[in-house]
Each structure stands twice: as C-alpha cells, then as structure tokens.
A and B are shown apart, each in its own frame.
Chain A
Amino acid sequence: MTSPPNDRRVTPPVIRLRGSYRIGAEILFGPVDITLGAGQWTCILGRSGVGKSTLLRVIAGLDCAGDFDGSLHVSDAVTLAGRVSLMAQSDLLLPWLTVLENTVLGAQLRGEQPDIGRAQRLLARIGLRDHTHKKPGALSGGMRQRTALARTLMEDRPVALLDEPFSALDASTRADMQELAAEMLQGKTVLLVTHDPAEAVRLGHRIIVLKPRGVQHWPTPVSKPVRDQYAPQTIACQADLLAHLRGTG
C-alpha cells in the first residue's frame, strides 16, 4: 500500500476482505468474501464463536490467536492503519479520567495537544454537556456508552468498527444509542458486529450472516437506515433473519 495523502486518508473507503481464518489446523471461518460499502453500515451476524469479532480484529489490524489467509483490499489503496476507530461492547472508559479526558484520550495517547473545544461541542451534541467533569463510576450505562461514542467520534476516522457496542444496554437506551450512532457516524464506512437481528435490520445498508464455511448476504428492506422498527417490512425482515439464525427459516 502507498503512503497516505491526507485527503485520501479521511475519505471513507470500500473495504473488501477475502480469505479464511484458521486457529492451528482448524478453520474458524471461511472462505469469505465480504465488502464494506464506502460510507455505509455493514452488519455482521452469526452464532457465538463463529468468528465475528475475529473478523473485525483482522480488519482493524489487531493481533489474533490464529492466522488469516487471504487479502484485505482497500479501495483507495491507502493502509487502514490510523484510519480506523474501535468501539466495543465494554465502554473501555478509563475510570481515573473524567468524561472529557476520556473523550480526548486518543490525542493524548499520540502525544498531541487535544482539541478541548471540539470535544466539549461533541459531548454537548450527544447530551453530556453537564457531565464532562464526572468520572465513569458516576455515570449510567447509557451515559458511559455515549462517552465511548464521543471518544470514537473524536478520532474522526473514516472507518468505524463496532463490536456489539449496544448489547449491554437496556432496550430503550439501546434504541436511542443506535439512532445517535447512525446520525453521528453518517458517511463513514462502518462495520457493526451484532447478535441482534433487529439492530442489524434497523441500521444495516448491508447484512451479512457469517457461517463457519462462508457468508450469506441477507436482503435488506428497500427503505434506508435508520429504519422504522415498527414498519411491517422491517418486522418481517427481522423475523426471517431470526428464523434463519435459529435454523428454522
């Protein structure tokens, strides 16, 4: 991959991952051929242990227990290093830092001067204006996850990799967070790993079911995300997807 010109680094790319993943002699998943559309949300579902998070780690360039045998193609031919932000199921907030300090953590870890003004504007936009000085221990689960979202957004990377970020939240907070994340990550190339068919159908431009021996591209409703969760098409798609995942569809 070539050296990264600035304008290309910030443009959301198409990402294509092809290959198999093995742990020792055993294949965890694959062969797969997955494309993450530029500026779109791609949702990956599958049974526990099928390798959804591993697939995300391969794209993020993180260390894994096994070996990926295949290729990762980025449409603008610029490496993904430094262009990816990560959001996990656990909020990963540092308990000794305030909400504001957690939000600007990335800049501090790179030894850069953090843009406090931008962080404060971002926190105000996601409803944490009055909580910037609090430590994570004083926040609710929803507020903690909002802070994690603010930290992800503060990085302003063109690619966001989300590993079940809303799964630990209660139903109403989860719905709020889904809408907030969809709004704030608009235009970025997003990979969302989820267990929840409803979440995938609501948010995904593309839905992919990961299986031990490949992937299945699941058709999405014609409407655009974020979809109305009460629309008949959305409900029907969720039901079909759930039945498929349970092996009864």
Chain B
Amino acid sequence: MVALFAPLLWQGVIWLTDVPAFILPSPWRVAQAAWINRALITQHSLVTATEVAAGLAVGAILGTVTAVLLALSARAHRMVMPLLVFTQSLPVFALAPILTLWFGYGLASKVVIAVLIIYFPVTSAFYDGLTRVPADILDMAKTMGATKFQTMRRIKIPHALPSLGTGLKLAAVYAPIGAVIGEWVGASQGLGYLMLLANGRAKTDLMFASLLALAIMTLVLHLAVGRASARLQRPEQP
C-alpha cells in the first residue's frame, strides 16, 4: 500500500510544484536511471552489502560475548557499562574521519564504523535479557546446585535469545547507516560513494536510484534478520 502510495505522492508533489528534475527527479526518471545503471548500482551494492554483512557479523558476535561477560561478573558490569554508554555519546559521524585515517579507505574502516554503531544495541538488548530471568527459576537452580556456567548456558542464554533477536533487528537497520557513513568520508566504491559521485555531477536521478538500492538492501536485511529472530522468539512452541 505504502509502496504504491509513496510514488503517487512523490509524482503529485512534482506536478504541483514544478520542481526541476535536478532537484527532485520523478519516480519514473529514477526507475529509468536505476535500469540504465543497473550494472553500476549492483556492483556498488555488493561492496556495501559486504561491509554491512561483515559489520553485522562482527558487531553481533562482539555484542553477544560482551553481554555474557557482563552478566557473569557484576564487577565487569560496573566497570565496563559506563564506558560503553560513554562511547555511545560520541557521534560516529565525528569519529568517521579518524577511523578512515586509522583503518584506510577500504573495507576495514566501514566495518569498524558499522560495528561501533551496532555494538551497543546488541550488547544492551542481550544483557537485558540475560539479567531478567525470573528470580524463582534462579532460586530453583541454586537449590539444584547449579554452577554459574551451566546456569548461564542452560537458563540465562536461552531465556535471553528473544532479547538478542530484538537487538539484532535494530542492528540490521543501523549497520547500513554505518557502512554508508564510512563510504561518504572516504571510499572509492560502495553505494555511499556512488551517491556522493552522482550528487557532485548533478545526476540526482542516479543518486535517488542508489538510495533506493540502499533502502531495498536494508529492508531485505531487516526481513532476513527478523525471520531468523522469530525462531529465537518462539521458544514456547511445541
């Protein structure tokens, strides 16, 4: 419904305002630009997709491991959590040039930026789930003589999987933002780079087509992660 309504509204604005195509191209022109430049857009999309997938994987693993370690040790939580919150107060936009300087113009700097963006939501969501196991269940485990490690493995982690799913769904939306920021700051390929290039040459239709490709990629990623998370979120199914 939205997919049908949005282009109509878009076209309506153009008819009403008579805005020039280099400011706001029509949906039809964008579709044409997408088709004509399909090879170029696909090539840059693959680069961005690789950065996003790598960032998502590394960020998810780091976030998951950190959450488990923080949940195992109250002292680690007291020491590390304020640091994590502090890192979130630094805008990634401000860090991107430094990270590009440190990690180069290739894949690494984009992955690092994506990881920085998704690390906290994944850690925070999973940690929340790990520490919200009902006290009655933990009491029962204690009377059974449960070890800390087995309680984590057999009770806390399975209980927190739906929360991890929520964190990963957020990460799937944030990771492309990180990759594109990295490409804007310094890159020779990727959708962010293509958008800057198109913008500089007043090829607004190509810029919009790249943006569309990015939106589709994010949507597909969100759906895929959402489907994977749904498996985590239905533990009560017989």
Contact = CB atoms under 8 A, between A and B. Distances in A.
Interface of A: 57, 60-62, 81-82, 84-86, 88, 90, 92, 94-96, 105-106, 108-111, 134-138, 155
B146 interface: yes
B150 A94 contact: no
A111 B147 contact: yes
Classify the interface of chain B: helix, strand, loop or mixed: helix
B150 A108 contact: yes
Contact of A109 (B136, B147, B158): B147
A138 B143 contact: no
B235 to A, nearest CB: 4
Contacts of A138: 238
A222 to B, nearest CB: 34
B235 A96 contact: yes
B151 interface: yes
* Residue among B144, B154, B158 having the largest count of chain A Cβ atoms under 10 Å: B144
Interface string B35-53: 0000000000000000000
B146 A110 contact: yes
A106 B144 contact: yes
A86 B137 CA distance: 10
Contacts of B150: 108-111
B142 to A, nearest CB: 7
Closest A-B pairs by Cβ, 10 of them? A138-B238, A109-B146, A137-B236, A96-B235, A106-B144, A95-B236, A86-B143, A135-B238, A109-B150, A96-B158
Contacts of A95: 235-236
A129 B88 CA distance: 53
Contact of A136 (B134, B137, B143, B236): B236
A96 B150 CA distance: 15
Interface string B118-129: 000000000000
Contacts of A90: 136
Interface string B79-102: 000000000000000000000000
Nearest to A88: B136
Contacts of A81: 145
B140 A110 contact: no
A136 B149 CA distance: 24
Interface in B40-86: none
A224 to B, nearest CB: 29
A108 B147 CA distance: 10
A94 B155 contact: yes
Contact of B143 (A84, A96, A134, A137): A84
Contacts of B143: 60-62, 84-86
A105 B149 CA distance: 14
A92 B236 contact: no
B154 A105 contact: yes
Given A108-B150, A109-B144, 12 more contacts: A57-B139, A62-B139, A62-B143, A84-B143, A85-B144, A105-B154, A109-B154, A110-B146, A110-B147, A135-B236, A135-B238, A137-B237
